[in-house]
Amino acid sequence: MSAFLRRNSDGSLDTQVVVAIIGGVATVLAAVIAGVLGLLPFGSDDGAPVAGVTTPTSSQTPAGQTPADPTPAAAPTPTVALEIDGPSAAALGTRTYFTIISPSARTVEWSIAGFGTGTFDDFVQTDQVYVEPTDPERVGDEFLLVVTAYDAAGSEATVRHAFVISAAD
């Protein structure tokens, strides 16, 4: 490694080496920041357009001009943000809660085969369902909580959360 690092007669690193190292680190850091920012979602969870970004409509085209693309663009489909927060195991004989989270849902339907189904009408951001396994023969079996949420516009989203029945604590 020291063969690549040029040193001055007094033993300190050459200025060109220091500048090259700083430039290399800055380049890598800039690439990491750009990559991270490229992965972040910019916009709101309710499907509203990003502030400051507008799409011209035919009524916004100046008189006497035709739009570049005369085909109307499809309106973006609003998405329903939905998630399930809960453990990956449910202990035998114990209530295990799963939290359903959706800032935009109005109705939420849930189902767990072998445990039940239900609907939350007038859903407001969060609610919970629980399981209380009682059959010791089901220890080790995997179950799936399936949740479907609908917003006021009728858009829907479905998420799943798997959990395993474990022995009593």
Task: With respect to residue 46, please indicate whether it lies within any of the assigned structural domains.
Answer: no
Task: With respect to residue 136, please indicate whether it lies within any of the assigned structural domains.
Answer: yes
What are the start-end ranges of the H helices in 1-149?
15-39
3-state secondary structure of 73: coil
Task: With respect to residue 144, please indicate whether it lies within any of the assigned structural domains.
Answer: yes
Task: With respect to residue 107, please indicate whether it lies within any of the assigned structural domains.
Answer: yes
CA-based R_g, the chain, Å:
28
Task: With respect to residue 114, please indicate whether it lies within any of the assigned structural domains.
Answer: yes
Q: Which domain holds residue 93?
A: 83-166
* CATH classification of the domain holding 151: 2.60.40.10
Task: With respect to residue 15, please indicate whether it lies within any of the assigned structural domains.
Answer: no
Phi/psi of residue 77, each to 5°?
Answer: -80, 125
Task: With respect to residue 111, please indicate whether it lies within any of the assigned structural domains.
Answer: yes
Query: Binning pLDDT at 50, 70 and 90, where does residue 73 land?
Result: low
Residue 42 pLDDT greater than 80, yes or no: no
pLDDT digits (tens, 9 = 90+) for 25-41: 777 777 767 766 665 55
Four-residue CA torsion sign, 133, 138, 141, 145? negative
Q: Residue 75 has what pLDDT?
A: 52
Task: With respect to residue 128, please indicate whether it lies within any of the assigned structural domains.
Answer: yes
Calculate the CA 88 to chain-centre distance. Answer: 19
Q: What tokens does 95 get?
A: 């209530």
Lowest mean pLDDT among 51-60, 132-141, 160-169: 51-60
Q: How many folded domains does the chain comprise?
A: 1
CA distance 120 to 169: 31
